[in-house]
A and B are shown apart, each in its own frame.
Chain A
């Protein structure tokens, strides 16, 4: 199977070379058959990547430990469902995963793109095939998943215990899908630049792709936070680790693009900016992979590091130079159709929103790279950890939250004073009341109070938008209230889906603020002994240590510490936290301990707060246990905010959304007739 896999990779490389050669040469303009050939090459490339993936799957499932990758990331007793995640647990597998998914997206882009944009497709195929080919080159020359060992070990090393978590089956592929799918908008952008068709057509072609990418990144990031929370055991979900930062960077620039693209679609402005955002997002997705793979910056995600990072660095530089040079050569063609009419307009609010999103991305990138810069300039190593990022980014995040509330309140083109007064009154009052209530109830954490107040302000904005829209439909069309609400969202999914996304963000920001009030303590308890901890809501939790038991489960010995919890004297239940010692079985009845014992946190989630219990270990091998008890306020709302955000994203990209209607309205000169104030496009 390894021979077949390697053969498939070489075939994929040849197909990619053909697609690039023909696609970029432009000879298909004269010979349409060549355009068909390029399209078919992308489909064939997908097919051979599937064959390569099947070859690796076969090795994983059949425990072929002669394959170095299989021996490194699996063992005989690894539960089947974790064999799935072993495919992307290591670098070699994740490179293949990237290649197969991208070739699938590339094929889908050729297949699904409307005939109107056919002229762009050979270029698109050339770009996507180039990127797939790059991954194949990395696999063939530096990190081959089909590499065989000179001997066959009786058992594999097994999967890192921290990766033996359900979150790791979903989180990495989601993040990869986000990173990978950015390639399609990037390919269309390059195609538009190469073909000089830089009108808004290419934006329509990539609309679903950009939202999908953003959605996958969002899901991947939130799942990563959840995994960190339940698996790493430090009691938080975001540590500003370089790899976490790397996932945030393209998310920020894609978020900026999703806002600014509306200005281009509606007003024909920001063409250069949008092009730059797409190019930048793609480069940042590659940068994220470079950070993850190279180990150039210290990270807790050290399980995938190797020297292939420098392949990515070279690719990053080449793609960046070519992309931005191309943009520069088409600069004049990307002139805005109209100029901004007023500083007090939604366009201006979107521009400042973009400034902040890109500014935060820059700030995160700056902080991530500053240790390297410092070492280069001063020759001194420094650490840039959470205190730095919180100091720099929390104020920017709050400003962004404020703009999230302001943007929808300002009219397009130009807002009058009366309009501003009418729009802002209730949201501002809501925010003020929330802020005052927080201070009155004793909250003294400045950022937390501001976050809650701004969250309330933005919620006020969103509620007002939904309420006014629903009321308008109810009055104008005589629809029932629920029908009016449903139709409001269904008729303009992009706008109201976007508002639902904003609601998700507000929920998450408020939940982030909750962590300012977390409380924790360490305690050593013998069976029957208790410890008490007061929660930020004033509840008193009593933790009674019940005992420690040991048993075998799947591929591990579990040491489980049990705690009886009561809240204000009333029993809540038993929470277990574990130590897991994984082992491999090279032969029947022979066991070898693999990895250090890992910790499984005991969590009881509630709407107000989470009880987070970590069994740190035992004193001198007895049942006397050392615990860390933590009360984390509002954490459940982080995940709920994530779900709302994803629902909003799905509403936005649901088929039959605004696209056709908006296009037709724009073609009909809708805005011109409504405004009666000169041409808008």
Chain B
């Protein structure tokens, strides 16, 4: 015999099935794409890019980083090895070059020796900046020399002209040098102009300013 309590139980169960079923089903259908567990598998690892190797302490070694900043990746990206291997994750060259740096370091080579080994193997263009020797010196020196030369010439010309001008002024109106600031700005009373000059300046400004 079905008691009232059984009826309620069955009704509740049916309700759960009717109402909760779709929810449970949709929960199953909406299974998260994320990995499961502590380090679960990705559903679509290819979309996450090339598989990576675990980073080690040596990857963060300042000596290695500094060296790799001086060496260009050979993939054609124009970046240095460190930047490329930590930026362009599709590049297969920079991780390999990084390993070469580590291997040379393991051989006990100094920084300069590692750089020299790279130049010997990959050519001079593996350096992010050319060595300051031979023709390359021109690369470093020419801009500075050009600016200094132009500065010296400019100074000489200006000096000559200002002396000529001052000589002419001295003949025409002795003691006529003034501090004329930008005409758009009022000069403080007690500054460089006389009260008459300032009054005239103020009159002109009122008259001329839009």
Contacts and interface: CB of A to CB of B under 8 A. Distances in A.
A664 B208 contact: yes
Interface in A185-207: none
A383 B208 contact: no
A471 B136 CA distance: 54
B120 interface: no
A471 B188 contact: yes
B27 interface: no
A235 B84 CA distance: 11
Tell which of B51, B150, B181, B193 has the most Cβ of chain A within 10 Å. B181
B89 A622 contact: no
Interface string B37-61: 0111111111111111111000110
A241 interface: yes
A599 to B, nearest CB: 6
B154 A355 contact: yes
A619 B165 contact: no
Given A298-B78, A674-B197, A678-B173, A579 B55 contact: no
Number of contact residues on A: which range applies?
35 or more
B139 A367 contact: yes
Given A343-B155, A383-B129, A414-B179, A374 B136 contact: yes
Contacts, number: 306
A673 B96 CA distance: 74
Contacts of B127: 382-383
A626 B181 contact: no
Interface string A563-580: 000000000000000010
B83 interface: yes
B189 interface: yes
B86 A362 contact: no
Nearest to A465: B185
Nearest to B123: A381
B54 A618 contact: no
Contacts of B110: none
Nearest to B43: A550
Contacts of A381: 123-125
Contacts of B166: 341-342
A678 B172 contact: yes
Interface string B168-187: 01001100111111111111
Contacts of A668: 204, 208
Given A340-B161, A475-B188, A523-B55, A385 B128 contact: yes
A396 interface: yes
Contacts of B54: 524, 619, 624, 626
Contacts of B204: 665, 668, 670, 673
Contacts of A24: none
Contacts of B134: 378
A548 B33 CA distance: 9
Contacts of B79: 234, 239, 300
A661 B210 contact: yes
Interface in A654-681: 656, 658, 660-662, 664-665, 668, 670-671, 673-678
Interface stretch (A253-261, A315-323, A386-394): A386-394
A371 B38 CA distance: 51
Contacts of A522: 55, 59-60, 86
Contact of B177 (A241, A339, A384, A416): A416
Contacts of A586: none
Contacts of B155: 343
Contacts of A491: 184, 209
A476 B45 CA distance: 73
A371 B151 CA distance: 27
A348 B158 contact: yes
Contacts of B143: 359, 362-363, 366-367, 392, 396
B20 interface: no
A473 interface: yes
Nearest to B187: A472
A509 to B, nearest CB: 19
A167 interface: no
Tell which of A343, A383, A678 has the most Cβ of chain B within 10 Å. A383
Nearest to B48: A559
Nearest to B86: A628
Interface stretch (B1-9, B69-77, B101-109): B69-77
A356 B147 contact: yes
A500 to B, nearest CB: 15
A101 to B, nearest CB: 29
Contact of B42 (A233, A416, A559, A616): A559
B178 A549 contact: no
Interface of B: 32-35, 38-55, 59-60, 69-70, 72, 76-80, 83, 86-87, 89-90, 123-130, 134-136, 139-140, 142-144, 146-147, 150-151, 154-155, 158-159, 161-162, 164-166, 169, 172-173, 176-189, 192-193, 197, 200-202, 204, 208-210
8 contacts: A355-B154, A411-B180, A414-B178, A419-B179, A495-B185, A617-B49, A622-B35, A622-B40
Interface of A: 232-235, 239, 241, 298-300, 339-343, 348, 351-352, 355-356, 359, 362-363, 366-367, 370-371, 374, 377-378, 380-388, 391-392, 396, 411-416, 419, 468-469, 471-473, 475-476, 488, 491-492, 494-495, 520-524, 526-528, 547-551, 557, 559, 579, 581, 593, 596-597, 599, 614, 616-624, 626, 628, 656, 658, 660-662, 664-665, 668, 670-671, 673-678
